[in-house]
A and B are shown apart, each in its own frame.
Chain A
Amino acid sequence: MEKDNKKSRRKFLKLGVKLGAIASIGTVAVAKALDNEPKEEMVELMSTDGNIIQVPASEVQEVAIKPENYNSREGFPNKKFVMVVDLAKCKNALKCQQACNKGHYITGENAWLKVYKMQESEKTAPYFQPTQCQHCDKPPCVKVCPVDATFKRKDGIVLIDNERCIGCRFCMAACPYSIRVFNWNEPNQPEVVHEEEYTPDHCGKPSVKGTVDKCDFCPHETIKGELPFCVKACPNDVFAFGDAYEDAVTNGSGQTFKLSALLKEKAGYRLMESLGTEPSVFYLPPADRLVDFEKGMENFNEFKSVDKIE
C-alpha cells in the first residue's frame, strides 16, 4: 500500500514537469475539471502555481467537499470562500438578482443582491455595482449579535440561524453595507421551502417572520459542486467564485483564474476597506469597460428589486 502511494506520487510529479511546459503556452481553462470524459484517460488540473497539468484520470480521486461530520456552524474544512466581481463587465442585466431571488424564495421587497447605480462624484463615470453580503472576516454584524444567531464559519461564510434570531436588528444597524433584510411580515413562500429540515445553510428555506435574512454565499450549491446562483446566472461573467486557499476562482462560463494574479493585474479592491471589516468579496474596477452604462439604465429600477411571484 505504502509502496503504491510513493510510486504514484513520483509519477504525478514527473507528469507535472512535462505538462507544465505545455500548459504555459496556451491559456487552457479548467472547465469543470472533474467531469471525466469516458474516452479520455487524462484530466486537466491546475497546480498551485497556476499551471495547467494533465493527469491520468485514474490518479485523481474525487474528494467529496462535504465531510461526513459536516456542521452548518463549522462549514467546510480547509476552505476559504471568496468572490470576485468584475465591474467592467456589469451591464445591469439583473440576471444575478433574479436567480438569487428565485433560488432563495425571496418574497420581501428588498433583494439580498442589489445592483447599485454608483457614481462617486459628478466628475467621475457612473457604473453598476452588484452588492451582496461581503462575508467579512471581521464581521461587525456577528460582533454585535446578542445570541450568536449570526455567526462566522471557518470557511469564511457568515450565516444566520433563523431559529435562534430574536429580531433585535442590531446586526442590520451594524452592517455598513446595508445588505441585511428583515422579515417584517409572514413571508408568503411556496410550500417547497418547508420540505426539508431547517439548516442555516440555505437562507430563505424558509424565511422566518421577525428574523433577519441575507446572502448566504450559496453553500447549498457548493455542497453539490455547483457555483452560487448569481455566478451561474450572469450572462457576462461578472462574478467568479472560489477558494482563497486554492487561490482560484471560477466564473459562470467555467473559466478558472488565479485569484492573486487576477487581483494584482486588475487592481482589485474591497468595499470600504478603511472600516477594517475585511470582506471576502473583491471588486475589479470598472476600467476598459465592455458594456454600455446607458444601456444598463434601461433595466434600472429605483424602487424595486424583487418581482412578485403569483
Chain B
Amino acid sequence: MKDYDKLIQDLAPRKFGKLGQIWVAFLCVIILLAMYAYYQQIDKGLIITGMRDYALWGIYISNFVFFVAISLVGSLVTAILRLSGLHWSTPLTRISEVIAVAAIMMAGLTIILDMGRPERIYNIFLHGRLQSPIIWDVLVITTYLVISLLLLYYPLLPDFAILKKHFKEKPFLSKIYDKLSLNWKGSEAQEKIYNSAIRTLSVMIIPIAFTIHTVTAWLFATTYRPGWDSSNFGPYFIAGAFVAGAGAVVVLMYVLRKVYHLEEYITDFHFDKMGKLLVLLCLVYLYFNVNEYLVPAYKTTVEEAAHLEGMFTGDFAPLFWSVIILGLILPVIVLIFPKGRKPLPLFIIGLIVVFGAWWKRYLIVSPTLLHPFLPVQGVPEEWHYYHPTLLEWMITFGTLASALLIMTILFRYLPIIPIHETAEEKGFLETHKTEEL
C-alpha cells in the first residue's frame, strides 16, 4: 500500500518549476516570432523564402519529413515493443506516444505552411483526386493522428481515475480528470475492453505507421528526378524514421528523468536497452544508405552522377559526410560499449542523432531539386542554389518549438510514466485491491 501511494506521489503530474516556466516562455517567444514571419509570408508570398523555381521545396518540406519520421517512434515503442511482450519499454510508452502525437500534428501544420495558397486547402476535400500522393498523405496522416491520440488516451483512463482521487483538494483539476477518466472503475468488464482496445490499436497502428512514412517517401519517389527516383525509398525512409524517433525518445528520457526526478522508474537499464536498440536501428539505416547511394554511384548515369558528386565531393559534401559519420556511424561505435549506453553519453548521442536526422531530410530534399534534367539557364544566378532565409528559419523553428510546447504541456498534465501499468507490473495492484475489499 505504501509502495502504491509513493508510486502515485512520484508519478502524478507536477506544477512547472522556475525552469519549466522559463522553458515555456522561451518556446512561446519562438512561436510568436514564427507567427510574425508567417504573417510576412502570407502578405508578400513565398518570395520571403529562399525557394525559387528550381529549389521549389526547401526546409519546410524537409522539416515535414522530419516530423513524420519522428512520429513513427510511437508505433515502434508502444506497438512493436508492446506486442513483442518486452515489458521494459512500459515506462517509455507514454513518452513515445506524446512525441508521436506532437510530431504528427506539426507535420500536418508544416505542409500547410509550405502552401502558396493555404486558404484554399478546402479544395483538397472539394476536388481531391485519389491518384495524387498528396491525397494519400492527407488520408494516412489524419488516420495516424486519430489512432495515435487513442493510443495515448486509452492507457491513460485508469491513470486519470487515479489522478482524480489524487487531486481531491483541487476540485477543478479533479473534475477534469474525472471527465477524462470516462468513469473508469477498474471493473473486470472495463479491464477487458481496455486491454483488447489497446491491443487492437497497437496492431492497427503498425501498418498505418508504415504507410504514412512510405507515402511520404513516395511524394519524392513518384517523380522522375535523380536522387528521388528510387524503389528503395519507402523502406529507406522507415528505417531512418526509427533512428530519428529512437534518438528523440532517448533525449526526452534523459531530460524528463532529470527534471522530474524519475531515476527510480527510468533506470540505467532502460538507457542500456534503448542504446542497444539505437545501434540496431542505425545499422539497418546504414544498410539502406549503402543501397541508396552506392548502387547508383556504381553505375554513374549522367544525371545520377551530377547528383551524387554534389553529395560526395561537391557543395553538400561537408553536410553529407557529417550526417553519415556523426549521425549514423559514431552512434554505432559509441553505443556498442556498455559505458556508451550510460545515461549521459547516450543523451549526447541521442541529440546528435536527432540533429543529424533533421539535416538528413534536408539532404534528401534539396540537392535533387538543384540537378534537374535540363540545364538551369535563363534565371538569376541565386536561383542555382538554395539558401533558406531568416524568416524561413524562424517559421521552421516555430514548428519545432510548437512540437516541444505540445509535449511540455502534455507532460505537465499527464503522468509521464504510466501509473496503472507500472503498478500492475510491479505487483502493487493486487495488494491494493485486496486491501480495498
A interface residues (Cβ-Cβ under 8 A, vs B): 109-111, 114-118, 131, 140, 143-149, 164-170, 172-174, 176-178, 180-186, 208-212, 272, 275, 301-305
Contact = CB atoms under 8 A, between A and B. Distances in A.
A168 B111 CA distance: 8
Nearest to B382: A303
Given A165-B117, A209-B45, A275-B224, A170 B373 contact: no
Contacts of A212: 116
A176 B224 contact: yes
Interface stretch (B49-57, B147-155, B187-195, B398-406): B49-57
Nearest to B376: A178
Which 6 pairs show the lowest CB-CB distances between chains A and B? Answer: A167-B116, A210-B116, A305-B378, A185-B47, A146-B134, A184-B47
A170 B219 contact: yes
A303 B375 CA distance: 12
Contacts of B434: none
Q: Which of A173, A181, A305 has the most CB of B within 10 A?
A: A173
B114 interface: yes
B90 to A, nearest CB: 40
B295 interface: no
Contacts of B131: 143-144
Contact of A182 (B53, B124, B133): B53
A169 B116 contact: yes
A154 B121 CA distance: 28
A144 B57 CA distance: 15
A301 to B, nearest CB: 7
B124 A116 contact: no
B108 interface: no
Nearest to A272: B373
Contact of A164 (B120, B220, B369): B120
Contact of B120 (A144, A166, A183): A166
**Range of interface residues on chain B?**
35 or more
Nearest to B220: A173
Contacts of B224: 140, 174, 176, 275
Contact of A168 (B114, B127, B378): B114
Nearest to A301: B378
Given A173-B56, A182-B46, A210-B116, A302 B377 contact: yes
B115 A166 contact: yes
B392 to A, nearest CB: 12
Interface in B112-151: 114-118, 120-121, 123-124, 126-129, 131-135, 138
B25 to A, nearest CB: 34
Contacts of B377: 114, 116-117, 302, 305
Contact of A144 (B45, B111, B222, B383): B222
Nearest to B372: A178
Contacts of A210: 45-46, 115-117
A296 B388 CA distance: 36
B381 interface: yes
A172 B373 contact: no
A145 B369 contact: no
A184 B124 contact: no
A212 B115 CA distance: 11
B19 interface: no
A148 B123 CA distance: 9
A165 B373 CA distance: 25
Contacts of A117: 375, 377
A99 B111 CA distance: 37
Nearest to B369: A173
Given A114-B378, A146-B124, A167 B117 contact: yes
Contacts of A131: 374
B373 A145 contact: no
B126 to A, nearest CB: 8
B108 to A, nearest CB: 14
A170 B132 contact: yes
Contact of B223 (A147, A173, A272): A173
B129 A166 contact: no
B52 to A, nearest CB: 7
Contacts of A305: 377-379
B132 A182 contact: no
B132 A184 contact: no
Contact of A146 (B129, B369, B372, B378): B129
6 contacts: A140-B224, A143-B132, A173-B220, A173-B225, A174-B222, A210-B46
Nearest to B374: A178
A211 B117 CA distance: 7
B44 interface: yes
Which interface residue of B114, B120, B219 has the most chain A CB atoms within 10 A?
B120
A80 B115 CA distance: 33
A147 to B, nearest CB: 4
Contacts of B46: 167, 182, 184-185, 210
Nearest to A111: B378
A161 to B, nearest CB: 9
A185 B44 contact: yes
B338 interface: no
Given A144-B132, A170-B219, A110 B45 contact: no
A115 B375 CA distance: 11
Contacts of A164: 120, 123, 127
B171 interface: no
Given A116-B377, A303-B380, A167 B115 contact: yes
Contacts of A208: 117
Contacts of B54: 178
Q: Which of A144, A147, A178, A304 has the most CB of B within 10 A?
A: A147
A144 B132 CA distance: 4
A165 B120 CA distance: 8
A116 B376 CA distance: 9
A166 B373 contact: no
Contacts of A272: 373
A138 B372 CA distance: 20
B48 to A, nearest CB: 9
B27 to A, nearest CB: 28
Q: Kindly name the residue among B57, B132, B134 whose own CB sees the greatest number of chain A CB atoms within 10 A.
A: B132
Contact of A174 (B47, B127, B223): B223
A146 to B, nearest CB: 4
B127 A144 contact: no
Q: Which of A117, A209, A275 has the most CB of B within 10 A?
A: A209
Nearest to A108: B53
Nearest to B132: A146
A118 B54 CA distance: 18
A268 to B, nearest CB: 19
B124 A147 contact: yes
A110 B223 contact: no
B116 A165 contact: yes
A185 B45 contact: yes
